[in-house]
Amino acid sequence: MTTANTITANEAEIRQLITGQQCAICTEDVDQIMSRYATEVILFDVKPPFQTKGKAAVRQLWKDCLPYFPDSFEMETRDLTITVREDLAAAHWLFRFTGTEDHPAMQMWMRATAVCQKNQGNWQILHEHISVPFDPATSNAVFTLNP
C-alpha cells in the first residue's frame, strides 16, 4: 500500500470511529462508547470537571451525564475535518443533537476535537475536547452557528 493509500484508508477509519462513537452515544451504550477510548485518554468536557483522565474516570463521566441526555436523539455533524498520518490523527467538527423531543440539548451546537492514535492496528481516541463558544462581551454561551 502506498503512503497516499494508507492516509486515505486511515482517514476512512477515523470517520468510522467518529460515526461509531456518535451511534454509541445516541443509544447511550457506555460499553460501546468506552471501547473507542485509549487507556490513557484525557477528556475536556463542556462542564466541570474540565479535565478527566483515564478510562475509569471517563466511564464514570459518561454514566453521570447520559441521564441528562434526551430520551431519543440522533447527532448532526458538519464541517468534519481530519488530518491523519500513519498512526496519529486529529479531527474537529461541529455537532448537535436532533430529534422530535423539545430538550435543551437540542437547542445548541457544540465543537468537538479528537486526537486519535493507532494502537495495535486499531484507532483509539487519545484526547477529546468538547466545547461551547461564548460571547466575551456578555460571558454567555453562544448556541447557534451564526450568533
The pLDDT of residue 4 is above 80 = no
The structural domains of the chain, with segments of one domain joined by +, span: 3-141
Residue 112's pLDDT is 97
Give strand pairing partners of 135: 140
The pLDDT of residue 147 is above 60 = no
Assigned CATH for 3-141: 3.10.450.50
On whether the CB atoms of residues 14 and 81 are closer than 8 A, the answer is: no
The average pLDDT across 47-68 equals 94
pTM of the model: 0.89
Residue 1's pLDDT is 46
**pLDDT one-digit tens code per residue, 58-76:** 999 999 999 999 889 999 9
Torsion angle (degrees, nearest 10) of CA 59, 63, 65, 70: 120
In the numeric block, the cell 493509500 is attached to 5
DSSP 107: G
**pLDDT one-digit tens code per residue, 95-113:** 999 988 788 888 889 999 9
The average pLDDT across 117-131 equals 96
User: Which grid coordinates belong to 117?
Assistant: 492514535
Report the alpha-carbon distance of residue 21 to residue 107 in Å, rounded.
21
